[in-house]
Structure 1
């Protein structure tokens, strides 16, 4: 199977800068002992990134960046957005940046980024610009940890611990650790509650997470390196694409038929489509009607943004449990 060069508004999600840079160190690592100490050096997809002073304004690329910044207590600094591909802002944001201009619905160019006037970029990475181009304009680019290697293997898979560490990393950058600590306490408590709600005697089954990036795109799936794999595992499922060393990958109906998972999760909403629209697209695939999950009515939908490397993945975990009946009252 080959990996797909898709930009997920998984932002999510989801969710790259140094795309091609292999390996991400612990995202919370920073040279400063506490928030507010500048210059500050953080890990940015395996490279050291020094931030000279506290950033006051942000341009985001992808909705995962918005969710992470909101949890970190810094979403009120977002003045411009991009890379959302028509997806809605995540639900439940403390400070939704609804007034921030969308400078480009897809991958922003250097000109669009510079023109936005932000001090710093936070997002899934650059596809129509480079770090050097932005640095020449005095703009820093931070890549969210779960997108450090967008279509290739990360050194470590993204799980909930990595997402929470990314919130801490961003809070250090923006000097908002108190707000982040409070939000993380809530998120960790919710995650613990959800894990404890899974029946201990639940039989492990197989599942796949599939999606379409646009109405004309081919079928894609979630591999073993992303948060969707961690969600399936915690819910008691083995990801049939879990051995694939990537977050996002090209799939096809043939590989899905060969694996024949018990449950199929369709990640929808990536370009504004409803679950019914995404499911109809999937069922139009030749041979889809032969899948056990289709025959047994085990095709469920979860918002793509809730299966991204950001705090909304906790909501995605709940959605998977509820949709598959794997949550005890």
Structure 2
């Protein structure tokens, strides 16, 4: 069987998968149908890449990823088996529920890769959050194409609209087009949408609460928060919460304890794991900030943790929403 018929659904419960694909019968029958109905992309193809047209001359055969979101998106698109090298993960764990084991795939750089390291990975395409130690022009000179995750365009260009779950689903379909895995991408998007609908129906426990998503990029960094243009804002909204930083037209923003005290959210969500730290470590860093004991959320014990990788613009955000909803339900008991 080809990779287009064997990529399994990520992050989706058996019940949800059955709802979406039940009419196709058993797994073997589903794979046969997908194989028979698969269409072949006609290259070259042109896609939108952060507001600019990007032409893919031929079907890519190998991928270097930058960041963990690229891993999850490519898995949902049915192309994770093409990943030959990884980078930009900063020590974070691999996303859970991957259909392809990437643990032995070489990490060419744990942070932002240089042109030399990207070229040395021998990949046709780079998929990730953008370039900081290289440029599109440098890569193009070596015949390498750089595809930026839609929800991370603010790293290289201004976002024109907020990233939400619809944008994530569109990104999966876009990658399916690039790698000629559109059938797998469409099936996974349908199942993810079904799971999202089910989660929203269970979100009433958090209704009308204000919240903030905060994080530290490293132990030495200052307090940061998630603004109104990122997927974290959509997660809070779908969980029935209002983001106190929603008016900030950015995905990530540096903040401080003073602004958090002024906003005084009823719930604080700590995004942890960005550099491999656990929730207890992240809480210790936050509680060491002067004045945190005066926050309403801290007084009421309404501080919850969500893996930072589950608050990123990729399918794992479904799990992030589930964690927020479940944690909010526990707080209300």
TM-score range, shorter chain: 0.7 to 0.9
Normalising by structure 1, we get a TM-score of 0.87
Shift of 1:326: 7.4
In structure 2, do the counterparts of structure 1 residues 325 and 118 end up closer, same or farther at CA, with 3 Å as the change threshold?
same
Does 1:144 find its partner at 2:149? yes
Q: Deviations over 1:265-322 (max 9, x none)?
A: 0000000000000001000001111111111100000000000000000010000001
Cα 1:202/1:307, change in 2 over 3 Å: closer
**Residues 128-137 or 173-182, more deviating:** 173-182
Contact conserved, 2:272 with 2:307, CA < 8 A, in 1?
Answer: yes
Question: What residue is the counterpart of 2:218 in the other structure?
Answer: 214
Kindly indicate whether structure 1 or structure 2 has the higher relative contact order, using CA contacts under 8 Å at least 6 residues apart: 1
Structure 2 residue matching 1:318: 3-state secondary structure = helix
Retained in 1: the 8 A contact 2:85–2:105? yes
d(CA) in 2 for partners of 1:125 and 1:151?
6
Aligned to 1:48: 53
What CA distance in whole angstroms lies between the structure 1 residues aligned with 2:147 and 2:219?
A: 30
The unaligned stretches of length 5 or more in structure 2 are: 1-38
Offset of residue 150 of structure 1:
2.6
CA RMSD of aligned residues (A): 1.6
Say yes or no: does 1:272 pair with 2:276.
Answer: yes
With the length of structure 2 as denominator, give the TM-score of the two structures: 0.86
- Following superposition, the deviation at residue 206 of structure 1 comes to 0.4
Q: CA shift at 1:324, angstroms?
A: 1.2
Specify whether residues 73 and 218 from structure 1 end up closer, same or farther in structure 2 by C-alpha distance, changes over 3 A only: same
The question of 1:193 aligning with 2:198 is answered: yes
Offset from partner CA, 1:37-87 (integer Å, 9 cap, x none): 100100000000001000000000000000000000000000000000000
Runs of at least 5 residues in structure 1 that lack an aligned partner in the other structure: 1-33
**For 1:103, what is the secondary structure of its paired residue?**
strand
**Structure number having the greater helix percentage:** 2
Contact kept, 8 Å, 2:47 with 2:174, in 1: the verdict is yes
Q: Give the corresponding residue for 1:59.
A: 64
Taking the aligned partners of 1:77 and 1:313, their CA distance within structure 2 comes to 23
- Distance in 1 separating the partners of 2:157 and 2:243: 18
Structure 2 residue corresponding to 1:99, chosen from 101, 104, 113: 104
C-alpha contact (below 8 Å) 1:153/1:225 kept by paired residues: no
SS in 1 for 2:64: strand
Q: 2:297 aligned to 284, 293, 296, which one?
A: 293
1:228 aligns with 2:232: yes
Larger Rg: 2
Secondary structure, counterpart of 1:241 in structure 2: coil
The runs of at least 4 consecutive aligned structure 1 residues that moved more than 6 Å come to: none
1:172 is aligned to 177
Determine helix, strand or coil for the equivalent of 1:324: helix
3-state SS in 1 of match to 2:235: helix
Q: Give the Cα–Cα distance (whole angstroms) in 1 for the partners of residues 118 and 100 of structure 2.
A: 22
Give the number of aligned pairs: 294
